[in-house]
Amino acid sequence: MRSELRTSGVPETVIDDAVLILSELLSNAYRHGRPLSRVNGSEEADGGVLAAWRIDARGRLTVEVTDGGGPTRPFPATPSVTARGGRGLNIISALSQDWGVRDALGEVTVWAALSAQAALSSHPGRATRVDHAPPVPFADSLAGSLSGSLTDSLTDSLVDAYADLDEPA
């Protein structure tokens, strides 16, 4: 998928989002869905899931995964902070312009659409990737932000505190 989207001229940030969306959709299909089978009505696959992506004439990238359905319809969960899962559809919702579920005989397709044109158009007012300034070593940033007299005062206080630890109680 990544190489096909690159060849199509899709920006790297959009590709990153699309790959993450595909990963989440596949994870959900394997965790919650049944495999496709001809018995369930699928003519395209037997014993697995289908993944597809396409860019339409409007520049909209759609990523979708089809499985044999599951005991419940896909919906975003509200997991606890310590839960090990349950965030996939919320991630998809945050990264895509739209997402949904399409039902057919013996199969369920979950799809997500995002703009293949530019990363910011799919997320008005925010970026999908934030490039941070290079890290500044802690000692350098601390020394640069403290004045000489304050630094001397802190150093003296630390020396005194350690000296107090060495004295018998």
What pLDDT digit, counting tens, does each position of 5-45 carry? 999 999 999 999 999 999 999 999 999 999 997 655 555 55
Distance CA 77, CA 90 (A): 7
Answering whether pTM is above 0.75, one says: no
Calpha distance 81→77 (Å, rounded) = 12
Average pLDDT over every residue of 130-136: 45
Whether residue 48 contacts residue 36, with contact meaning beta carbons closer than 8 Å, is answered with yes
107-115 vs 98-104, strand pairing mode: antiparallel
Tell me the pLDDT tens digit for each residue of 51-109.
Answer: 999 999 999 999 999 999 998 888 888 878 887 888 889 999 999 999 999 999 889 99
Element (DSSP H or E) covering residue 98: strand 98-104
What are the backbone dihedrals phi and psi of residue 98, each rounded to the nearest 5 degrees, phi first? -160, 155
